[in-house]
Structure 1
Amino acid sequence: MYIFRLFKDSWQILAIAIVTGFLSGGSSASLIALISYAASNKSTSSLTTIAWSFAGLAIVVLVTSIISQVMLIRLSQNAVFKLRMRLSRQILSSELSHLEELGNPRLLATLTEDVQAVANGVYQMPFLFINLAIVLGCIVYITWLSWLVLLMVVSLAVVAIASCKWLLNRGEKLLALAREDQDGLFKHFRSITEGIKELKLHYRRRQVFLEQKLQSTAANYRLHNIGGLTLFATTSSWGQLIFFFALGFVLFVLPNLLAINSQTLSGYILTFTYLMLPMDNIISKLPHLSRANIALQKIESLGLSLGSRAELLTVPPEIKTSWSSLQLKGVTHTYYGNREDSNFILGPINLTLYPQELVFIVGGNGSGKSTVAKLITGLYIPETGEIRLDDETIDEQNREWYRQHFSAIFSDFYLFDEILGLENSALDYQIQEYLKLLQIDHKVTVKNGQISTTALSQGQRKRLALLIAYLEDRPIYLFDEWAADQDPVFKEFFYIQLLPNLRDKGKTVLAISHDDRYFHLADRIIKLEYGKVEFDKQHPYSR
């Protein structure tokens, strides 16, 4: 099973936990033998010896059970912790374009549902091992009583395992289909949360979405889950029926086939009765393990996909505070749509950016402005061509270092609820000054890096993101339609004062904008059309 791969780095600890688990289970089975022997023994002196043996075995059961469970619980939780961290690191180290192709619904489903399913499955493993040990111990005791009964038990076990395996395989296939449906459900749930305004404003769109999209996917998910869990429930009941059959065989048929004394018969009956609980526990935990197995396969599949597009992890050295030019030479990038004929090829792009200039990047929707911004900042890796910062060609060895030169606020920016990664003795003073400058000091306070609230209007959230960009103090700033959500007064303040002030402080400022009334403030205007630079020139009215 895939789930055992979680423990590949901790086999020694796992082995100890399994051994103690089997000792606990074996001791439990020995207690059954003692109970059976004591019930048929009339000697007082023998009963005293049996009582002390019983007490000793009970202590062994208690101690080994606790040791096994504690070790396996710690081991399993450590494995789940490592799994979460490994998956998070893989996502963060993968190429942005690849993550966008995979889509947020799949990533979220894996990080939440799949990891939780693995955690639930792993949690059952300590009890599974102990119950297995009890079953094996009981089988050893049955063997000691009679080889013929053992053959009968083995025959029943073969039938039980084969039939249960058939049911489990069918159930696992249905649960795997349900897991695929879950990716679709996450996509639709995202549509509800992010598209609520559009759905509320259009009745027909809302009904089609609910009845044809969401309901269809949810119904398939329900159908596959019901089918899979029904087969698992059938497996559990079928296993119980087989053991009842075995008990009935021992009680009613076996005495007619063999000469069995009452002590041996009571031992059989007691053992088979005791076996029913651990067997039921084992069978009832199989659905959890199957789901964990399916989830881990999805995680491994995603991990392989992320690993194939992983970037080299490096610790970046100090950035350049003084630089001469940033060049894009023959850079291209292909955006892959849902259909083969919808691919969009950007480039080849040839651009040179210089320190302390204010550049407006303009163009119609779909012209490639945001894609160019991601190429310039190093978030997208060029398919052809190269990016050079002064005399250094940017490649996988220095891309992490190169990205540290940029502070960017994209149109789909994310705002953290605390200021992370910034250490500065004057940080609190700077934050207060910027809050006043951005006119949100009456709405937001920052204490020990914790932002009091991010429940603001989109325009105010962008101002808060701008505050954090100011604090980063990078050589190059990029704003993707930053002013789109600002009121007219602050929009004018942004273009006329904030952007020129950044430039006058020695920063290079790249602004993607549709606000043509402010284009005259730019030192340069770069216009994109259909993924290519239509013109790149100094603005005639610039400084």
Structure 2
Amino acid sequence: MSLLFALVPARSWLVAGAAVVAGLVSGAASAGLIALVNTAIHHARPSRSLLIAGFVGLVTTKVVSQALARLLLNRFTQRTLAELCRDLSRKVLATPLRDLEHVGIPRILATLTDDVAWLGWAAQNVPAVAMTAAVLVGCAMYLGWLSPSTLLAVAFVVVIGMIGYRLLTARAYRSLQRARDTRDVLFHHFRALTEGMKELKLHAPRREAFLSERIATATEDLRQHALAGIRRHLVADTWNQILFYGLLGGLLFAAPAGSGYDTEAVTGYVLAILYMMAPVWGIFEAWPIFARGRIALEKIREVGVSLTAVGDQTPTPWRVEVPHEWRRLDFEGAMFTYQPDLDGNAFALGPLDLTLRRGELVFLTGGNGSGKSTFVKMLTGLYSPQVGTIRLDGLAITDKNRDWYSQLFSAVFSDFYLFDSLLGLSGPDLDARAQRHLVELELDGTLQIRNRTLSTTALSQGQRKRLALLTAFLEDRPIYVFDEWAADQDVHYREIFY
């Protein structure tokens, strides 16, 4: 049920409810067709015209209600998929940066690609399962009308089958979980493959070791865990088939030996059970998909993005204009400490007590690992100080207003990302202003900007940093932060920058 509630937005329940009602009508019509066929076989009393009229009416009802149910359920599914992608993106952005860093890029990528795909697949199977359940409910109603006592016996066998199926599939579920954990490892290796491409190409022994010790090992583990899950699910499926055909055999061969043998009831049961065979197998086949969707949901929650959270979790800036005329920014005993490593050592920055004033040009120097990048992340609001306070003109920065505070800054980080368009920027002369900056940055002969879109981002690292600087210029924020911006620039352009 947690998977269902995670997949279904609140406003989609009305559509889902209407689809379920249409599906129930379709299931009832299916049961009515079985009853009509059974009656036509065993009774000659009803007039032929009456039987034909009933047959046409039931078929029409079944076809129309089934089509309506499929239409509504597919509309529900597509809305669910679209909102799932949007909500997941919002909630990833709402997750604190430090939490995402702690999780790691490979796991986040696996979540955004593999897990979202499995959740989407699970959502796409909701219509088929709902239709199947409606058919089974209709057939059960007909079976109960024929013989309540036999229905209870069938229900007892079904419960036994479900308990056995549950026990057998528990091991299959654990295998699927191990397979999903292996995908995190594989994504980590894929990242090494793409980011270390040059180093791997230049060193044949390293390349072969990477393929044999990393990629081959992870893919083999993934294959074994996935096959183990499939084998165990097949065992559970076989168990249900044995029970199903045992029930059918009992109705065919054991029931006639009983004292209360009713040929019409037995025939109706056999017809109904044979008709139910395809829907039942459909539910069994959907189990691995929903099990994998449940695992995907758990992985997303492990990343810190809860799909069951109510409402839009995207940080919303205060309804207060960013103060371009700010005067001072104070660190009062601000301190940030990372989690301890395997040896129990934890790097801590601070406590910091300093004041930055509007109009100042501040250079931050220090060796590798001295905390410069950590300070920049605290300064810009990406990290929250665990001890102490940051104040802007006396106003304490808290989780409530931190996103508003971050809008003061334009930054070019050392590990910056360059978007291929001027997202979030507007103005009638935006392209013209961007073109003037291209000339200043000596990039006008390399690319063009039209309709807020960059003609290319396939540039050298130094040129890409200049494009990031152009975006910062266009943002026109009160405070600029540059993290080793000039490190990849030519000597003459370093002089221009400084």
Deviations 1:456-515 (A, max 9, x none): 221211111111111111222221122222233xxx323x2233xxxxxxxxxxxxxxxx
Counterparts in 2 of 1:8 and 1:485: CA distance versus 1, 3 Å: closer
Q: Which moved more, 1:145-154 or 1:268-277?
A: 145-154
Letter in 2 for 1:93: A
Letter in 1 for 2:461: Q
Deviations 1:130-176 (A, max 9, x none): 22222232233333334454344234323322221222222112212
Counterparts in 2 of 1:258 and 1:272: CA distance versus 1, 3 Å: farther
Letter in 2 for 1:29: A
Counterparts in 2 of 1:316 and 1:203: CA distance versus 1, 3 Å: farther
CA contact (8 A) 1:87 1:303 kept: no
Counterparts in 2 of 1:311 and 1:74: CA distance versus 1, 3 Å: closer
- What pairs up with 1:233-244 in 2 under 5 angstroms? 233-244=234-245
Q: Does 1:498 align with 2:460?
A: no
Letter in 1 for 2:299: K
- What pairs up with 1:146-225 in 2 under 5 angstroms? 146-147=147-148, 149-225=150-226
Deviations 1:87-112 (A, max 9, x none): 32222122222221121222222222
2:376 to 373, 376, 396: 373
Residue matched to 2:32: 30
Structure 1 counterpart SS, 2:384: coil
Q: Does 1:134 align with 2:143?
A: no
Letter in 2 for 1:189: F
Give distance in 1, aligned partners of 2:66 and 2:314: 45
Q: Which moved more, 1:389-398 or 1:412-421?
A: 389-398
Q: CA deviation at 1:415?
A: 0.8
2:396 to 390, 393, 402: 393
Q: CA deviation at 1:54?
A: 1.0
Give distance in 2, aligned partners of 1:267 and 1:330: 80
Letter in 1 for 2:98: S
Q: Does 1:472 align with 2:491?
A: no
Deviations 1:3-23 (A, max 9, x none): 221337254443332222122
Give distance in 2, aligned partners of 1:446 and 1:327: 39
Letter in 1 for 2:108: L
Structure 1: runs of 5+ lacking an equivalent: 500-543
TM-score by length of 1: 0.83
CA contact (8 A) 1:80 1:115 kept: no
Give distance in 1, aligned partners of 2:289 and 2:66: 21
Structure 2: runs of 5+ lacking an equivalent: none
1:21 to 3, 14, 23: 23
Q: Does 1:298 align with 2:299?
A: yes
1:441 to 440, 444, 450: 444
CA contact (8 A) 2:390 2:396 kept: yes
Q: CA deviation at 1:56?
A: 0.9
Give distance in 2, aligned partners of 1:338 and 1:276: 56
Q: Which moved more, 1:470-479 or 1:146-155?
A: 146-155
Give distance in 2, aligned partners of 1:291 and 1:190: 24
Give distance in 2, aligned partners of 1:142 and 1:52: 23
Give distance in 2, aligned partners of 1:298 and 1:435: 44
Q: CA deviation at 1:303?
A: 4.1
Q: Which moved more, 1:297-306 or 1:195-204?
A: 297-306
Q: CA deviation at 1:355?
A: 3.3
Counterparts in 2 of 1:8 and 1:86: CA distance versus 1, 3 Å: closer
Q: Indicate the RMSD between aligned Cα atoms, in angstroms.
A: 2.6
Residue matched to 2:247: 246
Give distance in 1, aligned partners of 2:391 and 2:426: 29
CA contact (8 A) 2:9 2:83 kept: no
Letter in 2 for 1:30: G
Structure 1 counterpart SS, 2:365: strand
Letter in 2 for 1:162: I
Give distance in 1, aligned partners of 2:170 and 2:271: 32
Give distance in 2, aligned partners of 1:418 and 1:110: 26
Counterparts in 2 of 1:313 and 1:141: CA distance versus 1, 3 Å: same
- What pairs up with 1:117-128 in 2 under 5 angstroms? 117-128=118-129
Q: CA deviation at 1:392?
A: 3.0
Residue matched to 2:101: 100
Counterparts in 2 of 1:336 and 1:27: CA distance versus 1, 3 Å: same
Structure 1 counterpart SS, 2:359: coil
Deviations 1:225-255 (A, max 9, x none): 1111222233334323332232233333332
Structure 2 counterpart SS, 1:55: helix
Deviations 1:298-321 (A, max 9, x none): 3344446798xx896333532333
CA contact (8 A) 2:92 2:305 kept: no
Residue matched to 1:523: none
Letter in 1 for 2:146: L
Aligned residue pairs total 492
Residue matched to 1:364: 367
Q: CA deviation at 1:361?
A: 1.9
CA contact (8 A) 1:239 1:280 kept: no
Q: Does 1:322 align with 2:320?
A: no
Q: Which moved more, 1:212-221 or 1:454-463?
A: 212-221
Residue matched to 1:527: none
CA contact (8 A) 1:2 1:297 kept: no
Deviations 1:360-382 (A, max 9, x none): 22222111111112122222111
Max Rg structure: 1
Q: CA deviation at 1:286?
A: 1.4
Deviations 1:58-80 (A, max 9, x none): 11112221222222222233333
- What pairs up with 1:247-262 in 2 under 5 angstroms? 247-258=248-259, 260=261
Counterparts in 2 of 1:455 and 1:304: CA distance versus 1, 3 Å: closer
Structure 1 counterpart SS, 2:364: strand
Structure 2 counterpart SS, 1:388: strand
CA contact (8 A) 2:19 2:69 kept: yes
Q: Does 1:5 align with 2:8?
A: no
Residue matched to 2:85: 84
Q: Which moved more, 1:379-388 or 1:460-469?
A: 379-388
Counterparts in 2 of 1:257 and 1:192: CA distance versus 1, 3 Å: same
Deviations 1:259-280 (A, max 9, x none): 6465555433322322211111
Structure 2 counterpart SS, 1:353: strand
Structure 2 counterpart SS, 1:359: coil
Structure 2 counterpart SS, 1:395: coil
Deviations 1:159-197 (A, max 9, x none): 322221222222112212222222222222112112222
